[in-house]
Structure 1
Amino acid sequence: MASGNINFITWNVNGLKQNRDQKFQELQNADIAFLQETHIGTEDEHIEDYKDKWHIFYTKFNSSSKGTAILMRKRPDYEHISVEKDACGTYVVLKCKLGGQLYTLVSVYNHGTDTKTLDNLSRYLQSMTTGLLVIGGDFNTVLNPFIDKKCYTSEAIKNGTHCKLLLSVEKFMKSLQLVDVWRRKNPVEQEYTYYKKDCPVSRLDYFFFPEECMWRVRSCDIKKSDRPDHQPVSLEINNMPAMPFQKYLQAEAISQKLKLKKDLFTGEMGKQSSHAVNEVDIISAINSLQVSVTPRPDGIPVSFYKDNIQNLFPYIKMLYDRIHSGAFNCSDKHFNETMKSPHDNSQHFFNVDYLIIATILTKRLDDYLDSQSKGRVPKNSATVMISPKTFCTEMRLSYIQDEIEKQKRSNPTLYQDFLIVKNLLRDAPEVDAKSANVLIEKDKLLDQGCPLTPVLITLALKCFASELARSLQQHHILVFKERVILCIQPEDLENVVAAMKNRANEVFYIKELYRENVKRKQLKCLGNESTSEDLKKWEAETLMNNIQSKTDKGDTQSRAEDCGRLTMYAVITLQDSDEVMVAASNWLSVDKKQCYWPPFKSTEKVMEAVQSRIKPETGGKIWEKLNISFHNGYATFNQAKEGQNEIKEQKERPYQLTTGYSGIKRRRFEGTQEMSEPTASIYRMSADDKNELLQMMRDIKSTVQENSAMLKNLFKDNTVHEVPSSTSISSKDVKTNLNLPLRTLEDVSRIEKELMNATTRQKYVKNLSKIRGFGQRDVIKNIMQQVLSDDLAKQFTWQGRGDKKPFAKLTLTDVIKEAASKQSVMREECENEIKNYLWSKN
């Protein structure tokens, strides 16, 4: 053993009967060995032959399966305390002292048939662990199938076989706040421990370590062995105490300190919170904490809370309630103060009451992230992994501000949790407000050792991935512990890579995993050389750009409210239909020239999607990417609705003046110039504008006279004097003398050219206006059946989204509206019925 360090190995040896000496030879550099699949039955105790060099603790189960063991190399500073063995051969738990420090060591073989083993072991370790907990073993599942299993296509990645085991392992890790040590130390590497013929290679063997104790890990590596089946994993930790001169408090002193904490609430008159915490949450949080020599700023250890939980319930509930209501400022009261490890400047140690609150919030945010990782990987996707570079970093909560604001509307309970998080985290050093020329919310620190840090970084990864993929028509984001997988179409990969390069100063590793039908070429990890100084510089530039942008646009809203916050909603005009709409800002492309639009048939459902800012993907349905004109951005949905109404009024004002009807656009007549969008009121019109307006009114008068003449001819020519009340005259009952219905897109192109002629246009209007029906819907249905064949109608939608053609842009559409108006069908109702008809055909 190197001075001050302890070397572990965990290894599935696939039986100790064969090649025992060679296998023990490979353990020569280990101080402690965790072995699995020892295959030791009642008469297979040959492992005892090595007891001259090792303290050996093992299970007896079966000569051909299971079996675990812990081997402790004999050394003078070893002191045995106790050992627990599973009767089914799945684990051994050894408690001991090494160099005067307590350890709880666990060797696990998580067999596929033992789905309850980890649950039972978790409950035992929660109540019986003392000192540093070290767990090693073969868990028979991959934690992330994208990077822990070697597959050459995304189609080969499946969770089905190990689904139950995976859920069991994830639950086990959360219950004890454990970290996958090798993956934490190797965030983007792909190495494997399990090799077997005709099976995909994978990483099934792990060391798990408490989050709060990660400062003690020096290295973790996958070793190479000539033995078949599994490769060993090594772990090196330091054996130094967290605080060499820590003094333990007596019970009386602890009680006095706790009384002083409770006195902090004196005079706090915060409103009683309805977002209370219950005793089940508190017990679960306390049980997950490790009983170790970890120092605390207030000197009160975890063991005190575990031993006195019944008496502490009222205090924890009151504390949580005050933090939630905002009546208790964590920074001012020094509630979130920390101590740093003398051996690792990045590690922070917190008070136990802080950890209890943070752990409760972590579980809730974890549950939310778990709900976001459901779904299948789209077929033939290219996949990219995004993971954090560090777990001790300054991070603005504005990185996840979009997510927080979204929960305000869609999940108020989770939104309340985010508010508590913002109060709970430590404040970063003050920003120089004078140089920034703006008042901003204090930044928050994410510290290694805080339970909230991994889950908030994972959420930031998810938000970053969403931003990268926002302009893509198809994408899928899968959330795993401390990393996310972005699945995109192969043809979008180069654009995503370019966007990643532009964000090289972020604190993320980005790695391509699969390209599918794109020519295979591995990407390098981007931004590996960036530092915290780079990040601060990038953040400062972003901040100043946001401020300048708002100043240039004449934004009159409070700087303190808007600085650093992304626009939540936007008012846009859909170019293919000229509709003014409110859209979620995360649906817009970076250049704000295109927007995703949901495939919902219901207007109410579309508005609900906008308000909830759901990501552009619903039940596997493809969202359409539309060309837009961007008008303005807004912080709230109500502000955006007001902006929408204002822009609509501006658009409709000239139409009201020319037609006398609010909301009805002027018609375009052949030979008249299209009127431009007004920039001033009618009372400030130029002389040319007034002349144009008068000319348009004369055109309208002329058109009305023509319509009157056509109506007279219509009544004269129409032989059907009464329409039965229970039926309607279908298109086949009226002969239009036109070359209809249209059957191909070539026919549509032909008729569009013909309708450029005013005489031809009026001929179509006259004949289509003869087609009647029972009610407006029937009229439009019969006209559309006369105009388009069913097969051709399937190639159109109103706005032409996806691979469909835009019916709204056709001159033929204006002809149909004009014909329908002769039967008292208003243009707006006509549009709606055309939309419904086209939808029914698709």
Structure 2
Amino acid sequence: MASETIKFITWNVNGLKQNRDQKFQELQNADIVFLQETHIGAGDEHMKDYKDEWHIYYTKYTSSSKGTAILVRKSLDFEHTSDEKDNCGAYVVLKCKLKGQPYTLVSVYNHHADEKTLDNLSRYLQSMTTGLLVIGGDFNTVLNPFIDKKFNKCKKIKNGNQRKLLLYVNKFMKSLQLVDIWRRKNPIKQDYTYYIRDTPVSRLDYFLIPEECMWRVKSCDITNSERPDHQPVFLEINNIPAMTFQKDFYIPTIFQWLKLKQHLFTDETGSSLGRESSHAVSEVDIFSAVNSLQVSDTPRPDGIPVSFYKDNMQDLIQYIKMLYNRIHSGAFNCSEKHFNETVKSPHDNSQHFFNVDYLVIATILAKRLGDYLESQSKDHAPKDLATVMITPKTFCTEMRLSHIQDEIEKQKRSNPTLYQDFLIVKNLLRDAPEADTESVDDSIERDKLLDQGCPLTPVLIMLALKCFGSALAGRLKQQDILVFKESVILCIQPEDLEKVLAAVRERSNEVFYIEELHRGNVNGKQLKCLGNESMAEDWKKRLTMYAIVTLQDSDEVVVAPTNWLSLDKKQCYWPPFKSPDKCMEAVQNRIKPETGGKPWEKLNISFHGEHVTFEKAKEGQKETKEQKERSYLLATGFPGILKRQRLECNQEMLKQQLLPEPSASTSRMPADADKDELLQMLRDIKSTVQENSAMLKKLLKDNTVSEVPSSTSIPPKDVKTKLKLPLRTIKDVARIERMLTKNATTHEKYVRCLSRLGGFGQKDVIKNIMQHLLTDDLASKFNWQGRGNKKPFSKLILTDVIRDAALKQSVTRIDCDAEIKNYLWSICDRIGRGRP
């Protein structure tokens, strides 16, 4: 059963005086709306017309600039607690309960001339936030100019004010540990919210949420509006509490807290270690860290909430100092003392919740490492250099400290203080579970876990990205590494770009995306820049509203809104309505692809083209259908008939030129009638063939006897190797993983062996490989992402072996991954049917 969700929209409407009804019509799918630039002055009454449908909280400033508002639909279960409105129209803060859960909602307009708005708002939210904090608004700056902005090459842009605003926004996000939700969900996608002709298009509008609450996000999208200027951003939040609400929640006294934490402050002999080290943490650091933490219903291993630390901060500072000193001095191992113990979210297995004292120390260290990374990065790249973006595929994963070991050792010589911070970080992180119980070399350090919810995770991923980029370009003549939130930009000489990309292709990588952004300039000439189309082209792309596609299941040519299509234009949402009129209405109105909050089914499609209007798209649909019919005639062996028809048509045209014009009753020629009858007959034949094909597919699907392997699933007799296959236990998998890590020759042996198995089609190739590689019992212990109690198959080096073997049989990486997922998903069915 799907959980209840709440739908948010944030939108800079550029004034509510004009086109009010049209603008409100575009908000119909939202429960909560954050508006910016409402332009409501003291005497304006624009909002009162909509009070029957919405609870409205808004600022009154001027009729020509600024202004913010929050709208809550009256049909939503809503309970108002309090609201705070800025006198200068910069923000509205609404504290409330939505469907019984507490929220703090903030609509922000960060004007480019404001310098203190975000600072003031930060201090207020640090102490006054209750429940889930959701911030939406127009921040008037881009967080990463390489992928969040597209420049017009004919126009120079001054960036001084943008950089200044970026400092304020970054400081605001750090102060509350906020995440740019859309970018986290779309690490390499380039999309924009601000479109004005003859200016750079950019992404200025964001939804922000605390890092520890990212698990609550279901989806985040930039939606299309027919208006110029800003585009709305859509957010869907799961309205489920992290833990069951308790009226009488346990809040300890200071003395009870000390008794609970006593084991952290004493050594093995029981004596207290309160000596302050030379590497002490300051009260300012502790105060800032505690204030940045989210106050919500988050569960903790020791059951003590953030509010206890905020209320008793003055009494707890000395103890947190003492705790930090003990960790720094190596007085205890965090894992052995269970200091880094976590609680998993009951709704998201990847989300971990830590004790507040752990979060305070982790936050302090994360800030130090983040400041170091930013100090090493320039704020722009030389214009002649080529640029490559590196960004993580999965945000939380196991991490080998060897990935950042070079950086740690470098700090040992140049910055001993930071080196000590690295050692504390290694102590704080949880150890990854051992692959098996066999004896492991003690000199090999255990991998560390980067948990979603730990403040250190984002900054350590950025550090790993930086180290990876440095390793790629370490031997080149000139290179720069620019560190941004969620990604790293590698800047290199244009002539070195192919070397770097080749180096990336050589090493199979499941951790990072590598995206080429710009090929640089040679002799003043620009080679290539992704996203450097003219503004006119960009406007044309944005205004393409409808697409012509063929639904592959039914072979039907249809018109579909472009917002129903997937990014690669290979799939399309389609409504479940039985009424053709209702489907046509959904297409024309470009409604969001969902009914009752549930997404529609995705269908495989063939894409033919895009059009600005529905009428143009209908004309394109007709042309595409006629073209497909002509192609079908040729493909089904009627070229002679078509040739004879063309000859007859030419003869008829000649007769019409020589003879008087016929009357209306005789204007329809026999040749035309024959042609229409023939086309109708072929349409009927085609329809019958399609129906028969569908029935045959269904029969084959229903009557497939999986117990009897096909001839292609039997490994050829000439496949003789010394490899111990199939693997039967998790220990076998761990053993092979270690062998593949240490020896590239082993990788090639397995690829050669598995690639020779063959198969009829991509499904059969992958099935043969998987059956030869793993027993069914072992395969049933895996799924692709490792959800539930199963292990993640996608993270194994064996997966790369399968991909390389499949590639030799002309199976692409995408198809290979899809077939592996299907195989693992259906393995339990095959076991249940009792294969002999």
Scaled by the length of structure 1, the TM-score of the pair is 0.61
Q: Secondary structure at the match of 1:459?
A: helix
Report what 1:15 is aligned to.
15
Aligned match of 1:413: 417
- Correspondences of 1:288-307 after superposition (within 5 Å): 288-307=292-311
Match of 2:338 among 325, 334, 345: 334
Residue equivalent to 2:627? none
Please name the residue that 1:163 is paired with: 163
CA distance in 2, matches of 1:181, 1:158: 28
Q: Is the contact between residue 151 and residue 200 of structure 2 (CA under 8 Å) also seen in structure 1?
A: yes
Amino acid in the other structure paired with 2:21:
D
1:61 equivalent to 2:65? Answer no
Structure 2 match to 1:122: 122
Moved more, 122-131 or 42-51: 42-51
The aligned residue for residue 232 of structure 1 is 232
**Residue number in structure 1 paired with 2:256:** 256
1:478 corresponding residue in structure 2: 482
The code of the aligned residue for 1:285 comes to A
- What is residue 742 of structure 2 aligned with on the other side? 544
Shift of 1:246: 5.9
The CA distance in 1 between the partners of 2:47 and 2:107, in whole Å, is: 16
Percent of aligned pairs with the same amino acid: 75
- 1:455-466 mapped onto 2 (5 Å cutoff): 455-466=459-470
Query: In the alignment, is residue 469 of structure 1 matched against residue 469 of structure 2?
Result: no
User: Residues 361 and 241 from structure 1, CA distance in 2 versus in 1: closer, same or farther, beyond 3 angstroms?
Assistant: same
Letter of the structure 2 residue corresponding to residue 66 of structure 1: K
Amino acid aligned to 1:544: K
Counterpart contact for 1:262–1:315, Cα < 8 Å: no
2:110 paired residue number: 110
CA 1:158–1:339: 2 relative to 1, 3 Å: farther
Asked if 2 retains the 8 angstrom alpha-carbon contact of 1:153 and 1:516, the reply is no
Specify every segment of 5 or more residues in structure 2 that has no aligned partner in the other structure, as ranges: 532-566, 568-730, 747-836
1:31/1:305 CA distance change after superposition, 3 Å: same
SS at match of 1:212: helix
1:691-716 Cα distance to aligned partner (Å, 9 max, x none): xxxxxxxxxxxxxxxxxxxxxxxxxx
Which residue is 1:805 aligned to?
A: none
1:88 counterpart residue number: 88
Name the amino acid aligned to 1:123. R
Mind listing any 5+ residue stretches in structure 1 that lack a counterpart? 526-532, 549-842
Q: Could you tell me which residue of structure 2 aligns to residue 71 of structure 1?
A: 71
Shift of 1:431: 5.0
Partner residue of 1:391?
Answer: 395
Q: Which residue of 2 aligns with 1:645?
A: none
C-alpha RMSD of the superposition: 2.7
Flag the 1:162–1:186 CA change in 2: closer, same or farther, 3 A.
Answer: same
Change (3 A) 1:407 1:69: same
8 A contact 2:388–2:491 mirrored in 1: yes
Farther-moved stretch of structure 1 (264-273 vs 404-413): 264-273
CA contact (8 A) 1:272 1:325 kept: no
Tell whether the 8 Å contact from 1:389 to 1:508 is kept in structure 2 after alignment.
yes
Cα distance in 1 between the residues matched to 2:246 and 2:743: 49
Give the match for residue 704 of structure 1.
Answer: none
Q: 1:447 aligns with which of 443, 447, 451?
A: 451
Match in the other structure for 1:172: 172
1:144-169 CA distance string (max 9 Å, x none)? 00000013779978742311110000
Quote the Cα distance in structure 2 between the aligned partners of 1:155 and 1:430. 56
Do the aligned partners of 1:60 and 1:67 also contact (CA within 8 Å) in 2?
yes
**Partners of 1:7 and 1:371 in 2: how far apart?**
38
Looking at structure 1, the residues matched to 72 and 445 of structure 2 have their Cα atoms a distance apart, in angstroms, of: 53
Structure 1 residues 436 and 493, CA gap change in structure 2 (3 angstroms): farther
- Measured after TM superposition, the shift of residue 253 of structure 1 is 7.2
The Cα of 1:475 is off from its aligned counterpart by: 1.2
Cα offsets for 1:298-356 (capped at 9, x unmatched)? 10000000000111112101110001101021101111010111111111001000000
Alpha carbons 1:282, 1:360 under 8 Å: kept: yes
Alpha-carbon offset, residue 212 of structure 1: 0.1
Tell me the residue number matched to 1:358: 362
Moved more, 488-497 or 53-62: 488-497
C-alpha spacing 1:383/1:152, structure 2 compared with 1 (3 Å): farther
Query: Residues 146, 106 of structure 1: CA spacing in aligned structure 2 closer, same or farther, 3 A cutoff?
Result: same
Name the structure 2 match of 1:502.
506
- Paired letter, 1:481: K
1:138 aligns with 2:336: no
- Residue number in structure 1 paired with 2:750: none
Give yes or no for contact 1:146–1:157 (8 Å, CA) kept in 2: no
CA distance in structure 2 between the aligned counterparts of 1:54 and 1:474, rounded to whole angstroms: 58
Distance 1:536 1:181 in 2: 36
| Cα contact 2:10–2:35 (8 A) shared by 1 | yes
CA contact (8 A) 2:92 2:108 kept: yes
Q: C-alpha separation between the residues in 2 aligned to 1:75 and 1:306?
A: 36
Cα offsets for 1:649-680 (capped at 9, x unmatched)? xxxxxxxxxxxxxxxxxxxxxxxxxxxxxxxx
User: How far apart, in 2, do the equivalents of 1:438 and 1:543 lie?
Assistant: 18
SS in 1 for 2:150: coil
Match of 1:218 in 2: 218
Residues 301 and 342 of structure 2 are in contact (CA less than 8 Å); yes or no, is this contact kept in structure 1? yes
**What is the Cα deviation at residue 436 of structure 1?**
5.6
> Residue 75 of structure 2 aligns to which amino acid in structure 1?
R
**Larger displacement relative to structure 2 (357-366 or 148-157):** 148-157
Judged with a 3 Å threshold, the aligned counterparts in structure 2 of structure 1 residues 215 and 9 are, in CA distance, closer, same or farther, namely same
Shift of 1:244: 2.8
For residue 21 of structure 1, report the CA deviation from its aligned partner: 0.2
Q: SS of the residue aligned with 1:207?
A: strand
The answer for the alignment partner of 1:203 in structure 2 is: 203
Instruction: Give the Cα–Cα distance (whole angstroms) in 1 for the partners of residues 498 and 62 of structure 2.
Output: 54
Deviation at 1:197, TM superposition (A): 1.5
Query: What's the offset of the Cα at 1:544?
Result: 2.5
- Counterpart of 1:510 in 2: which secondary structure? strand
Q: Which aligned pairs between 1:505-520 and structure 2 lie closer than 5 A?
A: 505-517=509-521, 519-520=527-528
Q: CA deviation at 1:389?
A: 1.2
Cα deviation for residue 44 of structure 1 reads: 1.5
SS in 1 for 2:203: coil
* Shift in alpha-carbon separation, 1:409–1:152, aligned structure 2, 3 A: farther
2:494 corresponds to 1:490: yes
Q: Structure 2: how far apart are the matches of 1:537 and 1:495?
A: 33
Tell me which residue corresponds to 2:46: 46
TM-superposition CA deviations, 1:84-103 (whole Å, max 9, x none): 00000000000000121110
Distance 1:189 1:536 in 2: 35
Deviations 1:528-563 (A, max 9, x none): xxxxx9x99998458535999xxxxxxxxxxxxxxx
Determine the C-alpha separation between the residues in 1 that align with 2:61 and 2:735: 60
Task: Give the Cα separation in 2 of the matches to 1:72 and 1:246.
Answer: 27
1:30 aligns with 2:30: yes
Number of residue equivalences: 539
Letter in 2 for 1:423: N
Looking at structure 2, the residues matched to 431 and 327 of structure 1 have their Cα atoms a distance apart, in angstroms, of 28
Q: Is the 8 A contact 1:431 1:442 kept in 2?
A: no
Aligned partners of 1:108 and 1:138 also within 8 Å? yes
By how many angstroms is 1:474 displaced?
A: 1.3
Tell me: CA distance 1:115–1:243, structure 2 relative to 1, closer, same or farther (3 Å).
Answer: same
Partners of 2:215 and 2:351 within 8 A in 1: yes
- Greater alpha carbon shift after TM alignment, 119-128 vs 256-265: 256-265
Give 2:265's aligned residue. 265
SS at match of 2:350: coil
Q: Which residue in 2 is equivalent to 1:571?
A: none
SS at match of 2:161: coil
Displacement of 1:243 after TM fit? Answer: 1.6
Letter in 2 for 1:45: E
Letter in 2 for 1:214: M
Secondary structure of the 1:281 match is helix
Q: Secondary structure at the match of 2:141?
A: coil
The verdict on how the C-alpha distance between 1:471 and 1:433 changes in structure 2, with shifts beyond 3 A counting, is: farther
Which residue is 1:101 aligned to?
101
Q: 1:830 — aligned with what?
A: none
> In structure 2, how many angstroms separate the alpha carbons of the residues matched to 1:253 and 1:125?
25
CA distance in 2, matches of 1:254, 1:214: 31
